[in-house]
Amino acid sequence: MTERKQIYYATAGLLAVIIFASNFLSTDLFQAGYQNFSVWFVISLFSFACGWLINKTLGYNHGGKVVFAVIVASAFISIILVSFFREYFGLSELLVENMILYILRNIMLGAMAFFGMALSEVILLQKEFSASKLKLDDLKKMLNQTERQAQVIIDEAKVKAEKMIFDAQQSMNEMIERKNQIERRLKEFIQTERELIKKYESGEE
């Protein structure tokens, strides 16, 4: 498990400040001109960058919980702020639509932070997938080499076994031939002995 330093939570604090500061901007993005839209774009970009850093430092699961907590807390504080200072925000009446509008702005910036986290996680997973694919390719190459080496060893063993069987067959044939020679000589010797005995017996008579 990666160690989470306390300084890592400063990014979540910065995201909370950005979301809270968005309450003081006008909601009329296109009616107020390109300048107001540019400010919103920059704030959204900062939220995206905060989400990216949170994913890098706190991780996707824990960082997602932190970002969600920041969104909820910012929305709650925004409701309280707008409720007490509605004249400052130009709200003559405290309507539910106005509350929802400010909450949606906070959620939108929080969603940009989640988008930054998701994109960072996807890139990280893509890198891990590429590294795993390279390792898998290396393992496949090693497996192919091992299979080839094993096949070579098996072929050599077959050749040696066939040679041993051939040598053993030759040795056995030689032994059988010697046995047959000994039997023939022994039979000849016995036959000679019999003839000598017969001659000896006929000579005595």
Residues 6+ apart with CB under 8 A from 63: 51, 54, 55, 57, 117
Task: Give the pTM.
Answer: 0.59
Mean pLDDT of 166-186: 87
Q: How many Cβ atoms are within 10 Å of 164's Cβ, its own excluded?
A: 10
Mean pLDDT of 84-108: 70
> What pLDDT score was predicted for residue 23?
72
Question: Would you state the structure tokens that stand for residue 93, as one six-digit string?
Answer: 């009446």
To the nearest whole number, what is the mean pLDDT of the chain? 80
Q: Where are the alpha helices (DSSP H) in the chain?
A: 9-21, 34-58, 60-84, 96-204
pLDDT tens profile 22-79: 777 655 544 444 556 677 788 888 888 888 888 888 888 888 888 888 888 888 887 7
Cα dihedral 173, 179, 182, 183 sign: negative
Dmax of the chain from CA atoms?
Answer: 164
pLDDT tens profile 128-140: 888 888 888 888 8
Percent of the chain with pLDDT over 90: 0
